[in-house]
Amino acid sequence: MKKILVCALLWFTVVKIQAAEITVFAAASLTDSLKEIAAGYEKTSGDKITFNFAASSTLARQIEEGAPADIFFSADEAKMDGLEKKGLIDPATRNSRLGNALVVVVAADSPLQIRSASDLTNAAVKQIALADPKAVPAGIYAQAWLTRQQLWPAIEPKVVPTENVRAALAAVESGNVEAGVVYKTDAGISKKVKVACEVPARDAPAISYPMALVKESSQPDAAKKFLNYLDSREAGDIFRKFGFTLRD
């Protein structure tokens, strides 16, 4: 009896030592897709994946302050550049695979017709929710798009900046703003909003989602393993399912 217990104890400890726990700091727009990918990965690898979803700007700031992240998955290159310049990520592991599109969304029961950017300047549209254009990638992309259309000065006074792109989505869902600009993938998640129009690729800035290993990672091998999995075909299928574009 004692021998069985000791063996079982040893086996559990060994398995525990073998199983790694990886923390991934990822952009809010990746919430649903990454959770599904991780669920599958955990079953096969035995590793555990923990996520911290927030605006990429917030995450970058936290990593700068020493937050215990193993992987950073940002919604724009600029945030990754910032960390690379500070020597906080491993450039060799940096990889940009995903793209996205911007859409204008309105509440599911809204009667508003917004077919193009200029419709946003209508008086009927009083407030527009964007992820904070000063910092959050989704907002920065949206501002870039509207600036290129030369509509930003007219639209800026109507902007309600939110903390991340999912908060912008929630604002539109609640009906407290008339419209919002979010990723196409976000609009796909929610039943309470509908897409009013999609920003054509030629008008939109290039949206790119880089991922990389954080140098201070305590589990570099396990993290690299997961990064490879994120680059795999299975992961790609899931990303595509949620509406991301892949540029493999």
Partner 1 sequence: MTLEEWQIVWFTAWVSALSTLVILPFGLALAWALARRDWPGKSIVETLVSLPLVMPPVATGLILLKLFGRRGAIGGFLHDRLNFDIIFTWRAVLLALSVMSLPLLVRSARVAFEEVNPRLEQIARTLGSGGWRVFFTITIPLAARGIVAGMILAFARALGEFGATIMVAGNIPGKTSTLSLTIFQDVQIGQDSSAFRLLGVSVVLAFVAVWFSEFLLRRKRKTK
Which positions touch partner 1 (CB under 8 A)?
Answer: 55, 57-58, 61, 64, 126-127, 132, 134-135, 159-163, 171, 174-177
Tell me the closest approach of the beta carbon of residue 227 to partner 1, in angstroms.
Answer: 26
Closest to partner 1 by CB, 134 vs 241, is 134
Closest by Cα among 32, 74, 102, 87 to 210? 74
Tell me the closest approach of the beta carbon of residue 61 to partner 1, in angstroms.
Answer: 6
Pairing relationship of beta strands 209-214 and 89-99 according to DSSP bridges: antiparallel
Closest to partner 1 by CB, 49 vs 129, is 129
Closest to partner 1 by CB, 193 vs 230, is 193
Closest to partner 1 by CB, 33 vs 57, is 57
Tell me the closest approach of the beta carbon of residue 224 to partner 1, in angstroms.
Answer: 28
Q: Which residues pair with 107 in a beta bridge?
A: 193
Tell me the closest approach of the beta carbon of residue 14 to partner 1, in angstroms.
Answer: 42
Distance separating alpha carbons of residues 60 and 25, to the nearest angstrom: 9
Closest to partner 1 by CB, 40 vs 153, is 153
Tell me the closest approach of the beta carbon of residue 38 to partner 1, in angstroms.
Answer: 26
Tell me the closest approach of the beta carbon of residue 120 to partner 1, in angstroms.
Answer: 16
Closest to partner 1 by CB, 214 vs 230, is 214
- Token pair for residue 220? 């570099």
